[in-house]
Amino acid sequence: MSGQDLNADNIVEFIADIFERRGAESYLGEPVTMSEHMLQGAWFAEKDGAPDELVAAALLHDIGHYTSEFGTYSPEDVEDKHHDEAGGEVLAPFFPPVIVECVRLHVAAKRYLCATDPTYFGRLSPASVHTL
């Protein structure tokens, strides 16, 4: 099933399928899986008392690595594959705008934090730096 084949009845199936088929892949060459990375984001958001919409966005923030028309990310990539935009696009018909925009803007938010918080960049993993 592709992003173009989605409807309200099968969005959960589509997302579950991505986590099942692709979630065990390494997170951009790091020692955690993609599923672990995305679940960590949701866990931290929930732990910080974030609203449900932000927890959902944290869980789905990297879904675009699997739905981008430019292909999935590889640590050897030298061009941006716009996973943030691809993720927002595939989620837009099914989720509230606040979730979609959080997914769509998460890379821009990371860039902003790197520019405004001197300690933020130093806490990023090599893969996270590469995706800037």
pLDDT by position in tens, the chain (length 132):
444 555 666 778 888 888 888 888 877 778 888 889 899 999 999 999 999 999 999 999 988 887 765 555 565 665 666 889 989 998 998 899 999 999 999 999 999 999 999 899 999 888 788 777
Domain boundaries, the chain: 3-130
Rounded to whole angstroms, the Cα distance separating 64 from 89 reads 8
CA gap 118, 99 in Å, rounded = 27
pLDDT at res. 6: 57
Q: What is the pTM of this model?
A: 0.80
> Could you identify the residue written with the tokens 């860039």?
111
The reported pLDDT for the residue numbered 121 is 94
**Taking a C-beta distance cutoff of 8 angstroms, is the pair 30, 127 a contact?**
yes
* Token pair recorded at residue 81: 């594959």
Structure confidence at residue 33 (pLDDT)? 87
Q: What pLDDT is stored for residue 76 in this prediction?
A: 66
pLDDT at 1 (0 to 100)? 43
CA nearest to 80, candidates 99, 108, 112, 61? 108
Residues in Cβ contact with 59 at an 8 Å cutoff, skipping those fewer than 6 apart: 38, 39, 41, 42
Write the CB contacts of 83 (distance below 8 Å, at least 6 apart in sequence): 62, 64, 65, 68, 73, 107, 131
CATH class of 3-130: mainly alpha
